[in-house]
Amino acid sequence: MLIVKKFGGSSVADKEKIYRVAERCIEDYRQGHDVVVVLSAMGKTTDQLIALAKNINPNPSKRELDMLLATGEQTSVALMSMAMGALGVPSVSLNAFQVAMHTSSAYGNSRFKRIDSQRIRHELDSRKIVIITGFQGVNKYEDVTTLGRGGSDTTAVALAAALKADVCEIFTDVEGIYTADPRVVPNARKLKEITYDEMLELATLGAKVLHNRSVELAKKYGVQLVVRSSLNTAEGTIVKEEVDVESMLISGVAADKNTACIAVIGVKDIPGTAFKIFELLGKKNLNVDNIIQSIGREGTKDISFTIARDDVRDVVSLLEENKNRITAQRIEVDETVAKVSVVGAGMLSNPGVAAKMFEALYSAGINIRMIATSEIRITVLLDEADAEKAMRVVHDQFMED
């Protein structure tokens, strides 16, 4: 078998942990498998490197920032190979440049375009464990790029796809994918399996276990993905195309506090108003979701939407600058909101999921501000202060029967 194993920063945070990971990889190697290991930077290294950069220049060039951040992963792969060396097992560390993991040109948020597998194949054929830097790539200018925070998962899946690996294992400090964050919802359950589509919704909604692009890629190339603990040998959660239909109606409840609500008040009730607002934001790459437009009154209407909290300053100044063009009377911002969502492929064939969710919120006296849905997801916007309670009551409503 060819196995890709990815370990996050907390799994390689110190010497002991590095050795534990090394031993775990060696076990597979000794059974005769080809082993490719993808690593993140040790512990909080990436955060520290960002702080280091900002200390030198509060607004560093994105190219140079990528150059700096990529060193974190390079450190961990080299140390891992040294550990394997000490354990007497042949291994080699490679960075994205050496493999040739080609990405789009954008710094800080690039995407894989093509991966050369020749060098890796060659090293595997000479019976080495191959240890590869997560999170980074190389663009057409032969510059180092990074994939966005948490991007090492995507490196692992992209490699698994390129090498046609039999399995891609993502090791983390939890035992798999849970029906909700166990720190918030104590009776959350570990899922045996989940579909790519459900996982994609959950990853996008702020369940931080997997980088959402890794799930997109896994679905696209049919990569068998397993999320499991780096601390024990528990089975973990399998992410795949289809799961047992008699499984639960919903597979997860997630909350996302990185959200803010913007209301554009008193715009003219004429064609083109929404277009003008969202075109402005789109051109600046500012992501918007959950849009609501009020019913018109006296020739005006309000348009509200949610954005990531980090984007509030950019969005508000852009809208203020263009207030006349978009015919707005004023812009209101509320940063005390959160999104709570339920996700489940079971919704497709079971009406009434929305009512069930709203009933739980109503019984708990929680007010809903906005509602948005997709085929397999219902999201409500509510007061941030209610988020945890909402997660618990909604989770109970679906899981207790």
Query: Residues in the site for ligand ASP, rule: CB under 6 A?
Result: 8-9, 40-41, 46, 72, 134-135, 149-152
41 binds, among Mg ion, ligand ASP, none (CB under 5 to 8 A by kind): ligand ASP
The minimum distance between CB 236 and ligand ASP, in angstroms, equals 18
Q: Which is nearer to ligand ASP, 69 or 226 (CB)?
A: 69
Q: Which is nearer to ligand ASP, 148 or 182 (CB)?
A: 148
Q: Which is nearer to ligand ASP, 210 or 357 (CB)?
A: 210
The minimum distance between CB 47 and ligand ASP, in angstroms, equals 7
The minimum distance between CB 180 and ligand ASP, in angstroms, equals 23
Q: Which is nearer to ligand ASP, 149 or 356 (CB)?
A: 149
The minimum distance between CB 72 and ligand ASP, in angstroms, equals 6
- DSSP calls for 80-98: HHHHHHHTT--EEEE-HHH
9 binds, among ligand ASP, Mg ion, none (CB under 5 to 8 A by kind): ligand ASP
Q: Tell me the backbone φ, ψ of residue 366, rounded to 5 degrees.
A: -100, 130
C-alpha to C-alpha distance for 178 and 391, rounded to whole angstroms: 13
The minimum distance between CB 266 and ligand ASP, in angstroms, equals 41
The DSSP 8-state label assigned to residue 368 in this structure reads P
Contact map string, positions 117 to 156, toward Mg ion, x by CB under 5 A: ---------------------------------x------
Contact map string, positions 5 to 24, toward Mg ion, x by CB under 5 A: ---x----------------
Q: Which is nearer to Mg ion, 8 or 137 (CB)?
A: 8
* Half-sphere exposure of residue 145: CA atoms within 13 angstroms, side-chain side: 23
C-alpha to C-alpha distance for 345 and 186, rounded to whole angstroms: 23
Residue 240 amino acid letter: K
The minimum distance between CB 339 and ligand ASP, in angstroms, equals 22
User: Rounded to an integer, what is the distance from CA 161 to the centroid of its chain?
Assistant: 18
Cβ-in-10-Å burial (0-12, 13-18, 19+) of 379 comes to: buried
- Where are the strands (E) in 274-401, listed by range? 289-293, 300-307, 330-334, 337-343, 370-374, 377-383
Give the CA-trace dihedral at 94, 97, 99, 103, to 10 degrees: 130
Pairing of strands 377-383, 300-307: unpaired
Q: Which is nearer to Mg ion, 150 or 176 (CB)?
A: 150
46 binds, among Mg ion, ligand ASP, none (CB under 5 to 8 A by kind): ligand ASP
C-alpha to C-alpha distance for 387 and 175, rounded to whole angstroms: 24
User: Rounded to an integer, what is the distance from CA 323 to the centroid of its chain?
Assistant: 34
The minimum distance between CB 140 and ligand ASP, in angstroms, equals 22
Q: Which is nearer to ligand ASP, 50 or 249 (CB)?
A: 50
- The residues of the shown chain that bind Mg ion, judged by CB under 5 A, are 8, 150
